[in-house]
Amino acid sequence: MDPARLADELRPIRLPVDYATLGVSDALAAFALGVVLALLVFALLRPFLSRRIDPAAVAAREVAALREAPPAARLLGLARLLSRLDPERRQPRPAGLDAALYRPDAAADFTALEADILGIAGRRREGR
């Protein structure tokens, strides 16, 4: 038999009526697939879309907020800020910070402490 003749004698494909219409389950499956694809695209783009936090700017805002605090609270706030900026203590601690923290009668040079802490925050931003 000739293959062309056989193909001509084949009956047309008959699909069930349910396959030809879009039902609720098909719409829900398409919606779920769209949600999964959207989540995948979002997960892939998230590193490029997230805001990068500048540690120097955050430190400058916190130092400015601490300037209005009483001296003891200001000193403690600066020490906490320093410990958040450099938890592994890779950078040398500012001169006079330990003395001012542990001896209440020692006078603290807040301007120098703030400058040192902002310098550490700047070095952290640069990745050092």
pLDDT in tens, 91-115: 788 878 888 888 877 777 888 888 8
Residue whose entry in the numeric block shows the structure tokens 């590193």: 47
**pTM here?**
0.56
Q: What is the mean pLDDT of residues 54-75?
A: 88
Q: Are 116 and 78 in contact (CB under 8 A)?
A: no
107 DSSP assignment: P
The ranges assigned to domains in the chain are 3-49, 55-126
The helix-helix angle for 110-126 and 55-66 (nearest 10°) equals 160
pLDDT digits (tens, 9 = 90+) for 6-22: 888 887 777 777 777 78
pLDDT digits (tens, 9 = 90+) for 18-58: 777 788 888 999 999 999 999 999 999 998 888 787 888 88
Phi, psi of 95 (to 5 degrees): -65, 135
